[in-house]
Structure 1
Amino acid sequence: MSNNIRIEVSQADLKFVLNKLNGMETKAPGVFRNAVNRTTTQTMRKIRKGRQAYVVSPGAFNAAMDVKRANKTHMVSIITAKDIPHGLKDTKFYKTSSSRKYGVRAKVLKGGLKELVNRNGAKAFYAGVDTGHVGVTHFDVFQRRGSERLPIKKLSGPGVAKMVKSIFKGKNGGEALEPYVLKTLHDEIAAEVAKLV
């Protein structure tokens, strides 16, 4: 799976519908459009429910999601998660806590804070970096690359695209969504055909 989730009709579904709608084949595109769009809506509900395992705010999560719905000529629906990883200081996506003993700890999933220590034992820390503009300083979470004072690197957490991929695969205790999407699509197609026959 890339950053896209495609919901589309298979050849078997096409044959099934055309056999059932004997004499009403012109209604088939509407059947497929309705079934694909309903499946998309139910899949988005499952993805939003899976989002609750993360500390990301609902507004930031929904802003990174894009849904292209099916129509009668293009019977494919595409759910896209379109964002990049953000700095750990971005409170819409992550929660952080700082102490002298542990350094900066971060929380991406609801549960516990994770210590940010690299293989050299360097702890993460808050720092301000000049942006190049007069009087403007950027504050974020950084970590030393080695045992020396410099260089340092900015730490980022996973973006919404990676969160959606984990939700779709059923990681973090959720159910895998691919079998659910296929079953829901077949059920919706059968329900649409039953309305017409």
Structure 2
Amino acid sequence: MIVSEIKVSGIEDVEKRLGNMKKNAPTVVSRAINRAIQNVKKNMGKETSERYFITSGEVKKTVNVTKATKSRLQAAAISQGAGIALSKFKVNPKTPVRYRGASRSPKVYRAGVKKAGGVKPLDGNPKSFVAVMKSGHVDVFSRTSAKSLPIKQLYGPSVPQMVKNEDIMNKINRDANETLQKRIDAEINNLLRRG
């Protein structure tokens, strides 16, 4: 589990800027926090998919957001999840192994999790392979012994493991703080304009 939190402990500065409308400070701050935490969720997907062979959608599916309220000026974006099937990353070729017929099975399957590392051969012994199960499910497997069965499905890291990458977390937190400040300014200006 990886958690990104946004908390605002003091709102005196916002109250001062609002003047005689200072009773609206908790509303201003909670709205700003909620915009910033939605940005955190979006950035978790964006930043992770830029560094790993995973889609932004796959990342965002694991993120739950707890919003701020006027009485609780904090919000959290929490990513939870187990290891992700290797097939969700980059696997080449995706052609399943063939057991019969003239067509040959691929000699080597390659897989990549991190974009910086590229794709590497899945060269274990016994070798890994792509297969279609009776249910129609296609994934990457390897045998557990020299016998054909049983086989085990292969997994990459979980989304929380990828998101906790230091570069990703730094970027997410920096953007969250910038968004929070911009949204507080915008909310204050909107309120003062409306009078």
Structure 2-normalised TM-score? Answer: 0.69
For residue 156 of structure 2, give the secondary structure of its aligned residue in structure 1: coil
Counterpart among 18, 22, 41 of residue 19 in structure 2: 22
Match of 1:113 in 2: 119
Match of 1:184 in 2: 179
Counterpart among 62, 69, 77 of residue 71 in structure 1: 69
Identity of counterpart residues, as a percentage? 26
Match of 1:132 in 2: none
1:58 Cα deviation (Å)?
4.5
Match of 1:3 in 2: 2
Report the AA paired with residue 77 of structure 1. A
1:52 aligns with 2:49: yes
Q: Is the 8 A contact 1:143 1:155 kept in 2?
A: no
Q: Is the 8 A contact 1:33 1:72 kept in 2?
A: yes
Going by fraction, where is helix more abundant, 1 or 2? 2
Q: Trace 1:31-180 onto structure 2 (pairs within 5 A).
A: 31-53=28-50, 54-88=52-86, 91=87, 93-97=88-92, 99-100=106-107, 103-110=108-115, 112-116=118-122, 122=125, 124-126=127-129, 140-142=140-142, 155-166=154-165, 169-170=166-167, 176-180=171-175
Report the AA paired with residue 187 of structure 1. K
Relative to structure 2, which stretch is displaced further, 20-29 or 50-59?
50-59
Q: Is the 8 A contact 1:104 1:123 kept in 2?
A: no
1:123 Cα deviation (Å)?
6.7
1:153 Cα deviation (Å)?
7.2
Report the AA paired with residue 73 of structure 2. M
For residue 71 of structure 1, give the secondary structure of its aligned residue in structure 2: coil
1:17 Cα deviation (Å)?
1.1
Report the AA paired with residue 7 of structure 2. E
Report the AA paired with residue 192 of structure 1. E
1:4 Cα deviation (Å)?
0.9
For residue 31 of structure 1, give the secondary structure of its aligned residue in structure 2: helix
Q: Structure 2 stretches of 5 or more lacking a match?
A: 94-105
**How many aligned residue pairs are there?**
174
Rate the CA distance shift 1:47–1:59 in 2: closer, same or farther, 3 A: closer
Q: Structure 1 stretches of 5 or more lacking a match?
A: 129-134
The C-alpha deviation readout for 1:49-84, integer Å capped at 9, x for no partner, is 224323324543332221222222222121111211
Rate the CA distance shift 1:124–1:31 in 2: closer, same or farther, 3 A: farther
Q: Please provide the CA RMSD for this pair.
A: 3.4
For residue 16 of structure 1, give the secondary structure of its aligned residue in structure 2: helix
Structure 1-normalised TM-score? Answer: 0.68
1:185 Cα deviation (Å)?
1.2
Partners of 2:70 and 2:42 lie apart in 1 by 23
Rate the CA distance shift 1:85–1:27 in 2: closer, same or farther, 3 A: same
Rate the CA distance shift 1:84–1:158 in 2: closer, same or farther, 3 A: same
Partners of 2:74 and 2:127 lie apart in 1 by 45
